[in-house]
Amino acid sequence: MQQLMTATQTKPTVEKINYEQFLQQYMGYHAEWINGEVIVFMAASSKHQNLVMWLSAILHIFVETCSLGLILPAPFNMKMARIRRGREPDILFVTKARQHLIQYAHLAGPADLAIEIISPESAERDRVTKFREYETAGVKEYWLIDPETEDIEFYQLTATGYYQRIFPNSNGVYHSAVLSGFGFDVNWLQQKPLPQVLSIAKTLGLLGEL
């Protein structure tokens, strides 16, 4: 019997499986692999999914237009072999130079950018556990978005291997280190409804190039 936990369980109940078995049995599921233990997550809220789709669309247009790499929303697993973790960020970005790491069912290494949308049950996991894991694995940039507070935190990996929080400028715009030329206006999150994707693309100067 395979190892299986839900997001609310704290202890494994059955034997462990290796990462290859995990990929075979859980491809397409919202699940993560932690040193042989499988965590299967409950379905996300509509608010969470709406934010993931909105942000994925913006980033996809930007990345494709500027030929920077590839945006992949969940479910798509990110293997961090050095720390024996297979995590599934809500959104991940891989640069063009590292696209050879994208396999059929997983990313064989840390993403260049990982984004997590915080939900009530994931707050500690996203802010503490995944924060340290992504930092240790070498994910160059980490964004944390809280839909309830409409707040977003940006972290960049320093030369010493630790995350440093980077704040938006005086206009509320954060400039990404790995998405060259991309500026995220934190005021977008406070608009209800969220601004239209094509409107943001126009603001970013992308429509003339599409």
pLDDT tens readout for residues 131-142:
999 999 999 999
Q: Is residue 174 located within the same domain as residue 193?
A: yes
Residue 83 identity (one-letter amino acid): I
Q: Is residue 66 located within the same domain as residue 143?
A: yes
Q: Is residue 39 located within the same domain as residue 49?
A: no
Look at residue 3 in the predicted model and tell me its pLDDT: 47
Q: Is residue 1 located within the same domain as residue 76?
A: no
Give the chain's residues under pLDDT 70.
1-15, 208-210
State how many domains the chain has.
2
Q: Is residue 19 located within the same domain as residue 71?
A: no
Look at residue 208 in the predicted model and tell me its pLDDT: 66
- d(CA 40, CA 56) in angstroms, rounded, equals 22
Which residues are paired to 134 by β-bridges?
none
Q: Is residue 99 located within the same domain as residue 86?
A: yes
Q: Is residue 101 located within the same domain as residue 1?
A: no
Q: Is residue 57 located within the same domain as residue 38?
A: no
Q: Is residue 37 located within the same domain as residue 132?
A: no
Asked if 17 contacts 25 with a C-beta cutoff of 8 angstroms, the reply is yes
Look at residue 118 in the predicted model and tell me its pLDDT: 94
Q: Is residue 35 located within the same domain as residue 57?
A: no
Domain that holds residue 27: 1-43
CATH number at residue 172: 3.90.1570.10
* Sheet of strand 31-34, all strands in order from the earlier edge strand to the far edge: 5-6, 37-40, 31-34, 85-87, 77-80, 106-107
Q: Is residue 22 located within the same domain as residue 86?
A: no
Look at residue 121 in the predicted model and tell me its pLDDT: 85
Look at residue 168 in the predicted model and tell me its pLDDT: 97
Which tokens belong to 14?
Answer: 């059955």
Look at residue 45 in the predicted model and tell me its pLDDT: 87
Whether the predicted model's global pTM rises above the 0.75 cut: yes
- d(CA 76, CA 19) in angstroms, rounded, equals 14
